[in-house]
Structure 1
């Protein structure tokens, strides 16, 4: 892991270097420093860090302006903001970075605590691992698929679901999996969803992908150990002419289908005013399928939908879960979502659990289910058996159960 520390105060800079020298995991291979945003930009012409530790108040070019310039460079590493600024300023800067598609994994108030710094570096390391499963060469990044190529990939079975486990926070038991579409290209390797999913959606393949995930899950019930699988569907999927009828046809062959799969409704804001989508969601619920709101808390209408459809669970968006250790606003939103789920007797799912600290915090708040890289990355179905063995050992070793 390569780190760039951007800090104008010499004492603070040296103190941070001393703390970094004491961290043995994750392994840090190289550290460089800069005293301003301007100096950092010049340095990054030849040095590509995995993690930036960035102050906000600096001479020549402050951290906020630096981060704005950084977005133009398409920086893909992790950013940790280190500042004595107020929580309101830190929160606003993090939202700015989100709009610029920069990956801010946390903000630390000064003086920096080594325990917090280590937790965030571990999270940065997990982010690296997450993207290492995808080929990151320029060939893969710049590959523009045609509709013909994607249709061929579907025919060949190269596009298929990977599975990310969800576990119970009180005892660590494996509860279910979420099916996430991946493209396992025979030459380019496993490709990031952004390289092919937008075109598949434009090709109106959303319903086909959902049905593909259902059929694939049914074929691999043994590897899934009969755990239920969450299938992502959008309002567009629900508005597809034959989607619900196709589900019911599969149900004729598999009478217990509603116990083996459930549906996570994404982009739920678009559902409220779409009568056809509401009709289809209601039909699924009527036939015993559980429904969950995905990315809960990111839109106004998701609140109204709780009173419209018979949802069984809500998944709190990772944009609130990840920063809740260092961001009071995010923590308060998570607590409010959990209180709402308890009052409405809905299962609560925390998405983006990527550290032991987050696991412990969510346990204390009585969240029911967790999903994230602390538990497992999305994986091929054949890897689930070994993951489950390793996870059970981790639960015991780290005393994750209450």
Structure 2
């Protein structure tokens, strides 16, 4: 397990390293600010990163939203003594832009926190191993997935080429199967098509995205794939009504018209 600690307090960083060493985790890198962390992320990938929010130069929020960190880090632990509302906002941002697992820990980090994180990491590895199996769901399984609300969203960040911060997110359909783990459209889209449930999936993804985006303090642009078959006269009214329901400006939304082959290639 490879870990990055981004913390401007040497005492706090050392304390976390000592706790990790108790569990035989010694492949640990440290950075005292976001700028140092970005340089490290350019050359390394990490299973887990502890990140303080209040740091000099590049702060924790800007670091986590950077393309370098997002490519390098799988799971994030946000460290701070800030108010819970600010922490929740940052946690929501990290989830939206695609981090696999995001947790908030109020300083100081304790042994019980490390135990919980390691248990979560072990469970996630098991799920990922199951996910790699070449499985395609049949129609009954997909129908059950709609009934049981197993469809979830993944969020792929979108970046301005001139900035390190994310400027928006793409909403992607996923299916969280209780036994098979997190599945991409490759595993379920053909059944969705056969069952004529493309519209239902589209509005499912859209509404989940609006729920999540409405929790953010700052507006964030977002896009969603839509097939030509879903484009009808009433689609604009339905989308605007949903946006108004969650108090999200429709101007933040971009619809990307696509063919079904594009959905099947979505395995990010």
- TM-score in terms of structure 1 length: 0.37
Q: Give the structure 2 partner of residue 17 of structure 1.
A: 17
For the 8 Å contact 2:2–2:48, the answer to whether it is kept is: yes
8 Å CA contact 2:70–2:99 kept in 1: the answer is: no
| Runs of 5+ unmatched residues, structure 2 | 146-175, 213-268
Query: In the TM superposition, what is the alpha-carbon distance from 1:135 to its structure 2 partner?
Result: 4.3
User: Following the alignment from structure 1 to structure 2, what is the Cα–Cα distance between the partners of residues 75 and 236?
Assistant: 34
User: 2-side partners of 1:49 and 1:118: how far apart?
Assistant: 18
Matched, 1:205 2:194: yes
User: Given the alignment of the two structures, is residue 31 of structure 1 paired with residue 28 of structure 2, yes or no?
Assistant: yes
Tell me by how many angstroms 1:206 deviates. Answer: 4.3
Find 1:194's aligned residue among 173, 180, 184.
Answer: 184
Is 1:5 aligned to residue 5 of structure 2?
yes
The 1:180/1:20 distance shift into structure 2, 3 A limit, reads closer
Residue 56 of structure 1 pairs with residue 45 of structure 2 = no
CA distance in 1, matches of 2:13, 2:178: 41
Equivalent in the alignment of 2:204: 267
Q: What is the SS of the residue equivalent to 1:17? A: helix
Quickly say closer, same or farther: Cα 1:179–1:52, change in 2 above 3 A: closer
Give secondary structure in 2 for the equivalent of 1:57.
coil
When the two structures are aligned, how many residues end up with a matched partner? 177
2:4 is the counterpart of 1:40:
no
* CA shift in 2, pair 1:36/1:105, >3 Å: same
Cα pair distance change 1:32/1:70, threshold 3 Å: same
Distance, in Å, in 1 between the alignment partners of 2:87 and 2:177 is: 34
Aligned match of 1:90: 87
Distance 1:268 1:39, change over 3 A: closer
The match for 2:137 among 157, 160, 168 is 160
Which residues in structure 2 correspond to 1:232-247 (within 5 Å)? 236=200
Q: Is the 8 A contact 1:6 1:54 kept in 2?
A: yes
1:130 maps to which residue? 127
In the other structure, the counterpart of 1:142 is: none
Partner of 2:216: none
Q: Are the equivalent residues in 2 in contact too, given 1:78–1:105 (CA < 8 A)?
A: yes
SS in 2 for 1:4: strand
Equivalent-residue separation in structure 1 for 2:13 and 2:81 (angstroms): 14
Distance (Å, rounded) in 2 between the aligned partners of 1:38 and 1:206: 50
* Structure 2 residue corresponding to 1:115, chosen from 112, 115, 127: 112
Whole-angstrom distance in 2 between the partners of 1:76 and 1:206: 38
Tell me, which stretches of 5 or more residues in structure 1 are unaligned? 137-152, 165-177, 183-190, 208-232, 238-265, 271-294, 300-402
Change (3 A) 1:269 1:30: closer
Looking at structure 2, the residues matched to 60 and 269 of structure 1 have their Cα atoms a distance apart, in angstroms, of 36
Q: Is the 2:38–2:69 Cα contact (8 Å) retained in structure 1?
A: no
Q: CA deviation at 1:95?
A: 0.9
**Which structure is higher in strand share?**
2
Q: Distance in 1 between matches of 2:35 and 2:67?
A: 11
TM-superposition CA deviations, 1:259-310 (whole Å, max 9, x none)? xxxxxxx93997xxxxxxxxxxxxxxxxxxxxxxxx8xx59xxxxxxxxxxx
